[in-house]
Amino acid sequence: MKLTHDLTHGHDPYLYLRLGELVSSAAEDAFAEHMLAFVNSLVPIHGLDLSEWTLDADRTRIGPSKCLGSAGQPHDLCAPDTLPHPLLQSVMEMEAPLLIQLKTPPSPQHPRRSTHQCHLVSGSGDLRWVICVHRLASLRAFSVAELTLLKSLSDTLLPLVAHRAQLLAQPGTRWTGTTQADSELESLHQAFSGRLAQDAVNLSAREQEVCLGLLTGITVSEMAQRLNVKNSSVETYLKRATTKLGVSGRHGLTRWMAFVPSRAKHVSAVAEDMPAVPEAKAGTRKDHYG
């Protein structure tokens, strides 16, 4: 796999398509694959795992864990017992989202399964939702610039993982076209509301409705027909909303939704009894791996 990526890349016309596919697949088996495609288009990775961890009754250890999806090259699945004790303690006592970096050398027994790992963690009550991204340990560790970007993405991606966990926990749910569409819209609405709260932005009901509609991929004309207004009215609502958000236009709205000024805490760690891998400095150079 050739990893060539410049974090200062220009406009990617497929970024919005990938984000839309990800949001719309929260209840589908392909959710992890869509998230891998989205993240990999921004930060080169070889795989990812999605999971839900549950704290035990006295909150002294992490009990059952549930796999919510996995995608990419074969690798050892992330599990609570793979984290050193101090990091587990951070996860159990977390008050804000976490980013945990694990840097490990290649394993002689399974060189293609040994990976650099980055855990993105959010939580509520006794539940923890985890995105674990992997890169083969034979390649460089995640750079500072890449970790910063992952932290930014996590505030959009982790609410989707939490919503997926809720959907999968509903017993006997039959995903008809209508119920799946409702689920997709609810997933987007939760993520959008979370973004507004983080930025302390208040939009009118109509401004929110227009933004959500455009984020799902419908056109201005279709939105105008749905609201029974002129195209210019939809464009006015969009302009008012994006002005409050500090962006411009439909693409600016999607970028705002995808790239979040993260509040996640970064915890860098090295697995016990393993030599550290020097962390690359942030920069704009390109790295090539054959």
DSSP string, the chain: --EEE-TT----TTHHHHHHHHHHTTTSTTHHHHHHHHHHTTS--SEEEEEEEEE-TTSSSEEEEEEEEEEES--PPP-GGGS-HHHHHHHHH-SS-EEEEEE-PPPSS-TTT-EEEEEEEEEETTEEEEEEEEEETTSPPPPHHHHHHHHHHHHHHHHHHHHHHHHHTSTT----HHHHHHHHHHHHHHHHHHHHHHHT----HHHHHHHHHHHTT--HHHHHHHHTS-HHHHHHHHHHHHHHHT--HHHHHHHHHH-----PEEEEEE-TTSPPPPPPPP-S--EEE-
pLDDT at residue 1, as a whole number: 34
Tell me the average pLDDT across 36-65.
85
Q: Which fold has domain 11-169+262-281?
A: Beta-Lactamase (3.30.450)
CATH node for 177-258: 1.10.10.10
Express each pLDDT in 236-253 by its tens digit. 999 999 999 998 888 788
* pLDDT exceeds cutoff 80 at 11: no
Mean residue pLDDT of the chain comes to 74
Domain with CATH 3.30.450.40 in the chain: 11-169+262-281
Residues of the chain with CATH 1.10.10.10: 177-258
Which has more pLDDT, 257 or 42? 42
Percent of the chain whose pLDDT exceeds 90: 18
Q: pLDDT tens digits, residue range 198-222?
A: 788 899 989 999 998 888 777 888 8
pTM: 0.60
Please write the tens of the pLDDT for every residue from 151-203. Answer: 888 888 998 898 888 888 876 544 444 444 555 566 677 778 878 887 888 99
Question: Does the structure show a pLDDT above 80 at 72?
Answer: yes
